[in-house]
Amino acid sequence: MDCFYAAVHMRDDPSLRGKPVVIGGRPESRGVVAAASYEVRKFGVHSAMPSSRARRLCPDAIFIPPDFRRYSKESEKIFAIYRELTPLVQAVSIDEAYLDVTGHLGEAGSATALAKEIRRRVREERGLTVSVGVGPNRLIAKIASDFNKPDGLTVVRPEKVQAFLDPLPVRRLHGVGPATERVLNEMKVQTVADLRGMPVEDLVGRFGKHGRILHEFARGIDDRPVETHQERKSVGSENTYPEDLTDLAFMETEVDRRAEEVAAALARSGLAGCTVTLKVRYDDFTTVTRSRTYAVPVYERATIAGCARDLLRRTEAPHRPVRLIGVTASNLVRERVEQLALFEISWDR
């Protein structure tokens, strides 16, 4: 989806169209940009940027608090369109998905025609635009989908894959982040063509198993299937505060609130967690985590909150100002064990 959060608001409020819109916290608080319209991106504003900096870059920006329930409902309707066309839909996030249309072309007759149908239906039925990349695998389709935003369609036929990839910077490949890019640049590798010219032995020697994946990606080889069922790995809740917290009792109250949200999310999903993690960010942006793993999965609010409060005391929070508190349950299982263990065993780290 193109600029999904902002696009939903601009669709529902025509007065926002064509204006610099930022979805996120207020600039006078410690809010963060969750999404930015294309109009405000021209000023250098992007997601994950502090809202205060976004305001400095674009003084005329319109700040709107996020409404995640609204985005979730819209996402469900859009994904329903996808699933009418193929059952093989892998959600990557609330606004992005892979669709395997092999064997599901129907009356469209080709993947390109099906991509055009997706764009038409999303535009006509939801009043939003989607950019689509068509390729022989996930790697190529993903890169292509970012090629012609917004409201774009980029098709890369199998015989054109290498010509498409070669001139691109290596950063465009899946799995190449800043650290990997930096190492590759030290190896005189800047484009995909450069990477393709590297012996696989050199890449494996430098990156291990990931080096072989890079070797294949540089040739447009990607055998990852579209996975329609993905288990959730964690459930969490965190909050950044407009003023630093210095009172331990208030911090514990906030921990309880975060734990309550985690417990509610676990209940909605029918899940329990073996590990509870507390996240604390101090006023100097130093971030620490403390975790406890249980022999019996936990899901009740009181248990999660009690654990998180104990973990809070194992940080410097009682003696240092805190700007963020988060609680997460991970190592999730679907079985909710009612029978208590004879001896409650847990491991802290």
* Helix (H) or strand (E) run with residue 238 in it: strand 234-245
Catalytic option among 96, 181, 238, 252 = 96
For tokens 């809740």, name the residue: 237
What is the spatial distance between Cα 251 and Cα 311, in angstroms, rounded to a whole number?
12
| Closest to 133 in 3D by CA, of 125, 141, 122 | 141
Containing 113, the helix (H) or strand (E) segment is: helix 111-121
Q: Could you tell me which of 179, 173, 223 has the C-alpha nearest to residue 196?
A: 173
Amino acid at 104: H
Is 96 noted as a catalytic residue in this protein? yes
Task: Read off the tokens for 277.
Answer: 């993690």
Q: Identify which of 272, 286, 345, 275 has the alpha carbon closest to the alpha carbon of residue 311.
A: 275
Burial of 68 (0-12, 13-18, 19+ CB in 10 A): exposed
Partners of 216 in beta bridges? none
CA distances, 55 to each of 12, 27, 30, 40 (Å): 24, 6, 12, 10
Q: Which two tokens stand for residue 296?
A: 């019996």
Q: Please report, in angstroms and rounded to a whole number, the separation of the first and last CA atoms in the chain.
A: 40
178 sits in which H/E element? helix 178-186
Which residues, in sequence order, are bridge partners of residue 23? 35, 64
Cβ-proximal residues to 98 (8 Å cutoff; 6+ apart), any chain: 89, 90, 92, 138, 141, 142, 226
Q: What is the DSSP letter of 137?
A: S
Residues designated as active site: 96
